[in-house]
Each structure stands twice: as structure tokens, then as C-alpha cells.
Amino acid sequence: MESHGPIPQTPVPPRHSRFRLLLAAPLWLTGLVGVWYGLLFLPVPTYLRFEGWATRATGEVKTAKEKVAAQEKTERDAWQASRKPGEARPAESKAAESKPGSAPKPENGPPASPGLVKLKLELKEREREAKTAAETLDLFLTKRQLPAFLHREAPGFAPAARAAGSGLGLAFIARITLAVGVMCLMVGTFARFRRRLPLRLVRWTAWSVLGWFGCYTLAVFGVVAAIAEAGVDIGGYAPDPVNVFFWKYDLLWPAVLVALLALFVHLHTQRAQAFADAGLAAPEGEEGSGDRMLESLRTHGRDPRFRKSHYASWLTHLAVLVLIPWLLQLLGCVKDYRVPKGSGEPAVLMVQVKPVKKEKKKRITLRPDSSISFHMPDLDDSKLMQEVVEATELKYKVDLAARAGRMGAGGGKKGGWPDGMENALVRFIRLDHRGPGWDDGMSSAHRADLNFLEEFNKLTGFKVSNKSEAHPIRLLARYRKGFAPPFVYLTGDGNIGTSGSDVQVLRNYLLGGGLLFADAGSRRFHDSFRGLMEQVFPGQPLRVIADDDPIFQFPFSFPNGAPPLWHHGGTGAMGIKHRDRWVVFYHPGDINDAWKTGHSGLQSELAEGAYHMGVNIVYYSFTHYLEETKQYRK
């Protein structure tokens, strides 16, 4: 019998080969992106449910109140109709029997019927449910970053998503994203460290990622289309075609990167090295289809000229649609700030000051002994509002005889500055410091920046921008000298997120003629802002601005200094001076809240004072910036 010797064993490649790492690394990266995106989006469907619950409960309370009011009116009308003509009311009979000088007990109507009592009990139940829903939503938002942003900056997102039926789709996409991310991490680990490469499992994973990419893309287009159709602003940006494109771009570019990594992994599973690592023979000889495809890409195939033209077309589209927008976002671009040209006077309208007379609101009571009260306290009844009114006590009354022309410099009557630019728009630019609340008031519901610009236009007649603007602190360095914003606005309700380079950029901007206009949305921001100023101007602490300072005199006169408003860090305005010029104006209250639509419950007279204070700051910054930088515009 012929002996053939021992059966040769197929050598198993080492587990730590470079090829294994080439497959595992993209899977790990894909898995990390998938897990991060899944955890980020997973709370959004829950937010939609909680927000819908709170909205529905609030609507039910409103409906229940309307039913109670209608039932009360019906019973009162029926009771009055049932009384005989000339019959004295119970209150009148008691008044006739009472001693002179004694006040009769009022009788407001008939006793409540069982139906009315039932409606009032239902109202109480609805109010309890609405309170529970609101507290649950608030507690949820304190622990979830993305839902809190959507609730604050895009209040119309939840209704639009529910109307479009996107809630279930978002929940499905969030769970699939998390599952695919975990699977990629596990398969990448197997591909790196198992003795034999799990080739089929790696391929299935790559195809799963590509399938997820298709579902995710459809979901992004659907949700963004629903937002655009509903006209929902996000972070103060309207859903115009440009913003819609950038919203899709911001949501899709990580997914596109993940899809490219999946294609890369799938291509390498078709190489001969992959079959060898899996202990299999290549199906078509020594080379796999992946090797042939890579070779074709390297040599440009049978028609190199045609292939190169395709490459150029694809690269051009990639540069225009992806690389250039990404570079613009990374590097940032700014537009020259131009001050209106003309000639004017410092004073527009002088004002007189007198105490505010607060009207007492009426209260509605059904019966003196009723256990149900329809008096609902509002912000005007709070202790904080009483402190604001008592501390401010300002009502601005226009003295038309003091009109001295339109605002500006040079002594003319048309308004403007001789060193300004023709057809310039007054713009309001705030700084994105990456801390919480930097964009407070920019949403379409609040419109703080736009409300101020519109009021500025009414008070001065200057043309203003029709949109709010914001950019990071670092972009202040990209403005041309002499064409930077004369002032920038900073606010927030938490810690300010800045780097060492941001501090230096801000200092250079202020020393170069700019003014930082800041206010506090919370005590935490107040403490953080003081710390930032210590970095920007070491050894120059914030100091109280005197009531007779020129910044409080033109164009509106504030005999008692800036209105204190809410007291987050004191009652008086503070600042920092450089070469006899205020480079920082800091209001420890919250002017931003007074500018919001509805003035955050503040009386209109006090909100008007906040607008006037803003006009004074704009006038001060324009005048001093043009003087400081005039040599750069010659």
C-alpha cells in the first residue's frame, strides 16, 4: 500500500496581522459612532411622548375651565330668570334687616348644582394631571441634552414631528443605530483577536451598516421636511432652503463616513488575504474580487482617460457639497460690519421719569365660602416682580420738546455718522461661547434680538437687519480692522466655555475699539462671567458705572442708572474701562428676558426702559468704535 505521508496542515495566519487591524479599526470606529448617535437620539421619542402628554393635559385643563365657566353662566342666567319681578335678592333683604353702618354679606348666585360640582372636580383632576405632566417633562429635560435643546430652541419641533408621524420612525432609527453600533464593536473585536477570521459575519455586518444608512437617510429627509413644512425655527434660524440644506448636511455627514467605512470593510473581505485568514480558498484562484477591484482603481482600468474624468467629477462634487461647507464651518467667514453714514446729534428723545402706578387686578370669586378659587397668581403677584417694580420705579415719558434730531454725530438732522457707510444695516451679533443658554432668546418664539432691532428701528429710523446673527468668539479675529462689530452681545445661564485663544481674541477685539455688552441669565453665569473678565483683563476688576456716566445720558437719560430688572448678580451695571472708554458693559440683571416676546411677564413700561438702555449702548459703541478705528478706513 502506497504511503502518502502526513496530511499537510493549512497554516493559520497570526491573529495580530496588519490585515486584521485593517478590518477591525473601521468596525470599531463605526461602532463608536453608532453607539454615540444611538444614545443621543434614543431620548427624543420619549421627549415627544412627554411633551405630547403635557400639551394634551394643558389643553384638557383649558377645555375643562371653559365648561365650568359655561355651566356657571347657564345656572346664573337660569337663577336670575326664575326670580319674580321686584323680588329683593337675599343680599338686599339681609341689608334691609341689618343695622345701619353694617355691610351686607354678598350673595353672588345660586348654590352650585351637582353637575357644576362634578365639572369642578373634573377640572381639579385635569389640573393635577397637567401639573404631573409638566413636572415629569421638566425632570426629563434636566437629564437629556438633545431634547432640552429642541424644547428650548425649537418649540414647534415636537408638534411637527407628531403631526408627520415621525415619533415611531425616530424610535426605530435610534434603536437600530444603537444595535448596529454594538454589533460593529463586537464583530471588530472578533475580527481582530479570533484565531480564524469570521469572514461571513464581517460581511453581514458591513451590509447591515449600509442598510442602516439607507433607513437613517430616509428618516433625516422626512423629519427635516416636516420641520420645514411646519415652519419651525431651530436655534433662531428659519427653515429656508439654505438652512434646510445645512441641517441635512450636519445630520448626514457622519452617516456618510460610516457608510464609506462599511464599503471599505466589505471590499477587503473580498481579498485573497481575507479568505486565507478565514482558512478558505479564494473562489477564483489566487486573487479575490476585492484584489481585482483595488488593482483596477490603481491602474484606472482599460480606459484610464475615461476613468480619470469620472474621478475628477466625483471629487469636484465632493469638494462643493462636503469639503467647502465643512471648511466654512471649521474656519468660519464673517461679513464686514458697516455703521450707517450721515450726520446727527447725540439726543433723540429726552425722557422724564416718574413713579409707576400699578393697577390692581380684579379677582373673581363665586362664593365667599367656596372651596374653589379661580384666582390664578401670575408673575406680577410674585415677590420678585414686586422687588423689580419697587427698585426700578421708572416710567419713560417722551418729552417731544427735547427732540434734537436723529441719532448720530456731526451735528446734522438726518442721523448717522460721518465716517459710516451708505445703506448700512444695524446688525446684532451675539457670541457663541459653547456654554448653556448662550442662544437664549434667539428662537422664533422669543425673538429677543429681532425685537430689539425692530424697536431700534422705530426709535432711531435706521435700517436694521432682518435676522439675528451669532458666531464663536474666535471669529472676532477674522474681521478687518475698522470693520468689526462695534459691539457684541454675550449672555447665558451657566458656565462660559472658552479656551485660552478665545480669551486672547476677545481681549484684542476690545482693545481694538470693540465693546462687550453682556447680561446674566443666572447667578452661575454671573460668577463665570466675572472669572472670564479676570482672564481677559487681569488686575482690572468690574466696577460699578456711575449714574451720571455718559452711557446713561445719550440718547436716553437714565437719572438712576440702568434699570435693575432681575437681580442675578446685583442691581447696578458694571464695566471695565480702557483709555477712558468702556470696553465692557455688564448688566447683572437680564435685559435679554425683557426683550423677549411677552417681556417674560415684565410690565411694558419696564421693558421699554430695557430697549432704551440697549439703544444707548449701541450709540456709545458706534461713536467710540469709529473714533478708535478711523485710521483703518482712510
CATH number at residue 569: 3.40.50.12140
**pLDDT higher than 50, residue 201:** yes
Rounded CA separation 290/546 (Å): 76
- Name 342's Cβ contacts closer than 8 Å, sequence gap at least 6: 406, 408, 410, 412, 414, 415, 416, 417, 418, 420
Rounded CA separation 239/24 (Å): 40
102 confidence band (pLDDT: 50, 70, 90):
very low
Q: For residue 77, what is the enclosing H or E element?
A: helix 43-82
16-20 contact pairs (CB < 8 A, 24+)? 16/192, 17/277, 19/268, 19/273, 19/274, 19/277, 20/191, 20/192, 20/197, 20/277
Degrees, nearest 5: CA angle 84-90-95: 125
Mean per-residue pLDDT over the chain, rounded: 78
24 confidence band (pLDDT: 50, 70, 90):
confident
287 confidence band (pLDDT: 50, 70, 90):
low
Nearest alpha carbon to residue 563 among 524, 602, 526, 619: 602
**pLDDT higher than 90, residue 404:** no
- Name 357's Cβ contacts closer than 8 Å, sequence gap at least 6: none
Q: Among the three residues 268, 283, 314, which one is the final residue of a domain in this structure?
A: 268
Distance (Å) of CA 598 to CA 447, 568, 592, 593: 10, 20, 12, 9
106 confidence band (pLDDT: 50, 70, 90):
very low
* pLDDT value for 156: 74
Residue 344: phi, psi to the nearest 5? -150, -170
Q: What is the pLDDT of residues 312-322, one digit of tens each?
A: 888 888 788 77
Q: What is the pLDDT of residues 84-97, one digit of tens each?
A: 555 544 444 444 44
In a domain, residue 312? The reply is no
Burial class (CB in 10 A: 0-12, 13-18, 19+), 107: middle
Q: What is the pLDDT of residues 172-192, one digit of tens each?
A: 888 888 999 999 999 888 887
In a domain, residue 346? The reply is no
In a domain, residue 579? The reply is yes
**Percent of the chain whose predicted confidence (pLDDT) is above 90:** 18
**pLDDT higher than 70, residue 270:** yes
Q: Among the three residues 223, 253, 268, which one is the final residue of a domain in this structure?
A: 268
Rounded CA separation 395/345 (Å): 24
Q: What is the pLDDT of residues 504-540, one digit of tens each?
A: 999 999 999 999 999 988 888 998 999 999 999 999 9
Top mean pLDDT of 39-53, 300-314, 470-484 is at 470-484
Under 8 Å between Cβ of 238 and 443 = no
In a domain, residue 534? The reply is yes
Q: For residue 513, what is the enclosing H or E element?
A: none
Q: What is the pLDDT of residues 413-452, one digit of tens each?
A: 677 788 888 888 899 999 998 888 888 888 777 889 999 9
DSSP codes, 410-438: BS-SSBBBTTSBTT--B--EEEE-SSTTT
Q: Which domain holds residue 43?
A: 13-79+110-268
Joined grid coordinates for residue 308: 480619470
* pLDDT value for 170: 78
Q: For residue 444, what is the enclosing H or E element?
A: none
Mean pLDDT for the stretch of residues 24-45: 87
Residue 585: phi, psi to the nearest 5? -120, 115
Bridge partners of residue 456, in order along the sequence: none
* pLDDT value for 109: 63
In a domain, residue 563? The reply is yes
In a domain, residue 454? The reply is yes
Q: What is the dihedral of CA 542, 544, 550, 553, to 10 degrees?
A: 130
In a domain, residue 396? The reply is no
Least confident of 303-307, 344-348, 363-367: 363-367
For 446-464, letters b (16+ CB in 10 Å) and e give bbbbbbbbebbeebbebeb
* pLDDT value for 405: 47
Bridge partners of residue 515, in order along the sequence: 487
Sheet containing 487-490, strands listed edge to edge, beginning at the edge strand earlier in sequence: 469-472, 429-432, 487-490, 515-519, 581-587, 574-578, 543-544
Top mean pLDDT of 96-110, 339-353, 462-476 is at 462-476
**pLDDT higher than 70, residue 402:** no
- Name 119's Cβ contacts closer than 8 Å, sequence gap at least 6: 64, 67, 68, 71
**pLDDT higher than 70, residue 78:** yes
Residue 84: phi, psi to the nearest 5? -75, 150
In a domain, residue 283? The reply is no
Q: Among the three residues 229, 247, 268, which one is the final residue of a domain in this structure?
A: 268
Rounded CA separation 378/547 (Å): 32
Ranges of H-type helices in 98-240 = 114-141, 145-153, 157-163, 166-193, 199-230
**pLDDT higher than 60, residue 356:** no
624 confidence band (pLDDT: 50, 70, 90):
very high
Residue position matching grid coordinates 459703541: 621
* pLDDT value for 426: 93
How many Cβ atoms from other residues are within 10 Å of residue 548's Cβ? 10
Q: What is the dihedral of CA 230, 235, 238, 241, to 10 degrees?
A: -100
Joined grid coordinates for residue 458: 422705530
Split into its structural domains, the chain has a count of: 2
Q: What is the pLDDT of residues 526-577, one digit of tens each?
A: 989 999 999 999 999 999 999 889 999 888 888 888 777 766 556 688 999 9
Classify 586 as helix, strand or coil. Answer: strand
Nearest alpha carbon to residue 340 among 453, 247, 464: 464
Rounded CA separation 147/50 (Å): 11
Rounded CA separation 151/141 (Å): 8
Residue 55: phi, psi to the nearest 5? -65, -45
Rounded CA separation 563/573 (Å): 9
Rounded CA separation 529/518 (Å): 9
Rounded CA separation 201/191 (Å): 9
Rounded CA separation 507/583 (Å): 10
Least confident of 6-10, 40-44, 295-299, 457-461: 6-10
Residue position matching grid coordinates 436694521: 464
Pairing, β 429-432 against β 469-472: parallel
Q: What is the pLDDT of residues 577-612, one digit of tens each?
A: 999 999 999 988 778 888 988 877 777 777 888 899
**pLDDT higher than 90, residue 19:** no
